Copies of this chain bind each other. A is one copy, B any other.
Amino acid sequence: MDQQRKLLKEEIHKWLSSNREDGINLLRKLVQASSTQKNEKAAQDIVIETIKKIGMEIDIWEPDGIQLQTHPFFACDRNEFKDSPNVVGILKGSGGGRSIILNGHIDVVPAGDVSQWADDPFSGKVVEGKLYGRGSTDMKGGNVALLLAITAIRELGIQLKGDVIFQSVIEEESGGLGTLAAIERGYVADAAIIPEPTNMKIFPKQQGSIWFRISVHGRSAHGGTRYEGVSAIENAFNVVKHIGELEKHRNNRITDNLYKNIPIPIPINVGKIEGGDWPSSVADLVKLEGRMGVSPDETIEEAKNEMTKWLKTLPEKNSWFDHNPVELEWFGARWVPGTIDLDHKLMKCLSSSVIDVTGEEAIIEASPWGTDGGLLTNVAATPTIVFGPGKTEKAHHPDEYIELDKLFEAAEIIALTVVEWCGACHDPLFVD
């Protein structure tokens, strides 16, 4: 690390230390704003206020769902975004530098079974250096790291050459409509970072994923003569088991070294089940909803085709499915897989910042889940790295939390990376 970079690192670190309380308060407020799908506005208002204070140009808009739904990469279960604004803040560079998109989603998944949480799922409570609540890790912690990094750069008086485009987007958890809307509004850059909870690992490959719905049929009968019917619930169990075999089969094919520490590189998760309409009747219809991981080495179409073909082999297991085939739909969310070259310049900037800040070599791995990085890479031609604080396994979990130290560490790494990537000129820190 040269002297100038060392000085920069120290100044950023100092600034972050003295603004630690403000950062924690910002995260707490964002978590408490409980921005599940369709409830994003209160959290976005907090983001807007923060961006205004930084002094960025602001662009706030409600995506036009009717127009966007004709886009080939549209994947969303709604087309009306009243009171669900996207927010973008722009820090214009002086020119001659590389631009960067810093993208984070403001939406969070539902709290789930509240009884499994030790506290209110949206408490934002801090205990032993961890801030708790749905969205703390996925990914408001990352968003706050971005905002802190940008604020630090501004307040330290560093004039960047390239533009910084901060994006607080909606709908990531349901398919990336927010990022798609930002791309369609014209936001592209030379590269991007998304601070999803990678536990400070660098993810150059993002897994894609798609949502499916499978309707499983049975034949109704009175529960007292249930042997006259065929239970769609029992059939559904067999379908879930069959899907489990497909998952195994698909994952056996994955040889990419970036996946070597991931137990199931591209999981298929059946997350919802619903069926039957009367306790005393044999259920004649069960609907399963789930998420299929898509490898960066296949297209979404290839993955879909494999599932379609696999489900057609159900009659080999149970002749019921011969005359009563399951129905497969793809709906709602979809995350496009994405890849950045391992020797891309941003990979180098980020890796060296990780070493400089933590003293340790960054772990480079493939992402176990989809992110908006696929859209940035494939639709906006903006190569994207996923890197952020927070433990992957805490995302979508009860008692979700983020370690605050990691959040500030990430902010420092990102600030350093952005300065190197965008380039800095004549800033007060570096006067000769």
Contact = CB atoms under 8 A, between A and B. Distances in A.
A204 B395 CA distance: 59
Copies of this chain, whole number: 2
Nearest to A210: B279
Nearest to A264: B227
A392 interface: yes
Given A240-B234, A279-B289, A397-B229, A112 B220 contact: yes
Interface string A205-230: 00101011000010111111111110
A116 interface: yes
A279 B283 contact: no
A333 interface: yes
Nearest to A233: B273
Residue of A110, A116, A222 with most chain B CB atoms under a 10 A cut-off = A222
Nearest to A331: B279
Residue of A109, A220, A237, A393 with most chain B CB atoms under a 10 A cut-off = A220
Interface in A233-264: 233-234, 236-237, 240, 263-264
Nearest to A285: B113
Contact of A277 (B110, B285, B332): B110
A276 B291 CA distance: 13
A292 to B, nearest CB: 9
A269 interface: yes
A124 interface: no
Contacts of A267: 223-227
A177 to B, nearest CB: 15
A293 B222 CA distance: 12
Interface in A280-294: 280-286, 289-291, 293
B110 A269 contact: no
Given A231-B270, A269-B226, A269-B282, A276 B264 contact: no
A363 B118 CA distance: 60
Interface range, A side: 35 or more
A271 B279 contact: yes
Interface in A190-216: 207, 209, 211-212
A374 interface: no
Nearest to A332: B279
A219 B398 contact: yes
A369 interface: yes
B109 A278 contact: yes
A65 interface: no
A281 B396 CA distance: 6
A370 interface: yes
Given A223-B396, A224-B369, A233-B240, A276 B271 contact: yes
A229 B217 CA distance: 28
Given A223-B369, A281-B112, A290-B223, A397 B272 contact: no
Nearest to A274: B274
A173 interface: yes
A178 interface: no
Given A224-B392, A233-B270, 16 more contacts: A109-B278, A109-B280, A112-B277, A220-B398, A223-B269, A223-B291, A224-B370, A225-B395, A228-B393, A233-B271, A236-B273, A271-B280, A272-B276, A279-B291, A280-B369, A281-B396
16 contacts: A110-B277, A110-B278, A113-B285, A116-B219, A116-B220, A116-B284, A173-B280, A207-B224, A222-B393, A225-B392, A226-B269, A227-B267, A233-B273, A271-B281, A272-B279, A278-B396
